[in-house]
Amino acid sequence: MSEPLRGILLDMDGVLYVGDKPVPGAAEAVAWCRQAGIPLRFLTNTTSRPRAALVEKLARFGIEATEAEILTPPVVARAWLAEHVEGPVALFVPEATRAEFSGLPQLADPAAGGAGAVVLGDLGEGWDYPTLNTAFRLLMAEPPPPLVALGLTRYWKAPDGLRLDVGPFVRALEYASGREAVVLGKPARPFFQAALDQLGLPAAQVLMIGDDIRGDVGAAQAAGLRAALVRTGKFRPSDLEGDIRPDAVLDSLADLPAWWQKNA
């Protein structure tokens, strides 16, 4: 017999909205959770926009949320760094992401060495050989600083075509340095753990809802949560033919209240 469900983690893009369009009924489903007193957190790998911008976007779709309820890789990474790292951190992240790390001591001149940790984000055009080499040399110091990755996303689709995201650069520097990154984003377990810590609930009592069969559903299940797949966003019917079995499949988030009342 499963434990009763008491909390919810919600992926954002593909579940609450698809690009700039709200998913019909999603706002009502979130409002229903609020009324029912079900604690929830929003979980997204988006690192290009600060949380304030995400709060605004949700508000436009009629969804109330606070910054504190939104967990992004930089937010979780900041907490991890504050707990685990002493020296100044070297941030290889876009300008918009840098704000999420305010308050942490930052390395003024990475080329001079001496990082307490090396943090890799979706730096995009900012990645060139000297920058990668600077990150590499920091990682080869003794004692070696931890390599922290803001997710492992492979690529994203820009208007002019596919573009490399943070993941490939993490793999490059892992291979060069012979070390493994601490990944603070989906699908890594510490990212889900940070959300559970905020909810104050054990994994077995929390439902993750997402549109990505691997990054949301499979990853959450691997972290001990139950997981529902929605048939919106990047969902494709073939997602249900693989080795990952969602604990629930919903046509959209609008079906959550009915499912929850019957199954939670």
The binding site for its own copies (CB under 8 A) comprises: 124-130, 132-133, 136-137, 140, 154-155, 161-164, 167-169, 171-176, 178
Could you tell me the smallest distance in angstroms from the CB atom of residue 174 to its own copies?
A: 8
Nearer to its own copies, 124 or 190 (CB): 124
Containing 58, the helix (H) or strand (E) segment is helix 51-60
Query: Interhelix angle for 129-139 vs 166-177, to 10°?
Result: 50
Structure-token match 């390395």, residue found: 107
Could you tell me the smallest distance in angstroms from the CB atom of residue 123 to its own copies?
A: 8
Nearer to its own copies, 77 or 166 (CB): 166
CA quadruple 247, 251, 255, 256: dihedral sign: positive
Nearer to its own copies, 177 or 205 (CB): 177
Could you tell me the smallest distance in angstroms from the CB atom of residue 155 to its own copies?
A: 6
Could you tell me the smallest distance in angstroms from the CB atom of residue 104 to its own copies?
A: 26
Structure-token match 């840098």, residue found: 98
Nearer to its own copies, 176 or 222 (CB): 176
Could you tell me the smallest distance in angstroms from the CB atom of residue 115 to its own copies?
A: 15
Q: Got the DSSP string for 62-89?
A: T----GGGEE-HHHHHHHHHHHH--S-E
DSSP, res 13: B
Nearer to its own copies, 37 or 175 (CB): 175
Identify the three-state secondary structure at position 261: helix
